[in-house]
Amino acid sequence: MAESTRYLIPAQAVDVVTEIKRSRFVAHIAHSHNTDSALQIISREKARHPDARHHCWAFIACPPLSASAIRFSDDGEPSGTAGKPILNVLQYSHYGEIICVISRYFGGIKLGAGGLIRAYSNSTQAALEKLSVKEIVQLSEIEIQFDYPFESSIRHYLQSNNININHVGYEESVIFQLEIEKNQIPQLMQQARNLCKGQVHLVKVEPGILC
């Protein structure tokens, strides 16, 4: 599956408290754009809840379909009963750049493995339902080069498709510096080749991001 260039991220942090059999689960969801920021949030939540027995967490500090910065921890709970259930709920939400830390205050009643999985999953879901989000768009900066007679046709195509021209250079040929979603580049180049009778070149591509 191709990685989307548009996805939702947390607009602001949210805290939701869930009580299950006298244990309190404090779920904190926030924006986390990379691993370092996620680890800082985990440390902060541990400091906010020093009396909690466990601080279980999961994060997707990258676009939702990327696996470049995904981690989770059970923090002392039985293996597979906390961090992975939290991560599963986050992945199902299809949000990116997101972290959930759940601080558990033990109430004296053991929940068992199945009960813990349900508790951490439900706590994560409850926090997601309170979350406000915003969309970001990943843009790439590209340069295309073509002969002068085709400039008006290329300009018209770009304007018709709301593709930004950041800079124009006039040398031996025309160079347009553009901002475009990465997954739109193949279609752009195909249309540009049609308009320029094959005489167009993709000079460079640089990744970017737009909130």
Residue 56, both tokens: 């279980």
The answer to whether 6-135 and 138-207 have equal CATH topology is: no
Helix (H, G, I), strand (E, B) or coil at 170: strand
Indicate the pTM of the whole model: 0.78
pLDDT of 211 over the 50 cut: no
Structure confidence by residue, pLDDT tens digits, 92-126: 999 999 999 999 999 888 999 999 999 999 999 99
Structure tokens at 159: 């304007």
**pLDDT tens digits for range 147-183:** 999 999 999 999 999 898 999 999 999 999 998 888 8
- Closest of 20, 3, 22 to residue 108, by C-alpha: 22
Q: State yes or no: pLDDT of 207 exceeds 70.
A: no
Domain 138-207 has CATH 3.30.1220.10: no
For domain 6-135, the CATH superfamily is: Impact, N-terminal domain (3.30.230.30)
Listed by start position, the domains of the chain span 6-135, 138-207
Paired with 23 in beta bridges are 20
| Distance from the Cα of residue 41 to its chain's centroid | 16
Q: Please give the pLDDT value at position 183.
A: 81
14 and 130 Cβ atoms separated by less than 8 Å: yes
Nearest to 135 by CA among 13, 4, 3, 9: 9
Band of pLDDT at residue 192, cut at 50, 70 and 90? very high
- Strands 174-181 and 200-207: what pairing? unpaired
CA distance linking residue 181 with residue 19, whole number of Å: 44
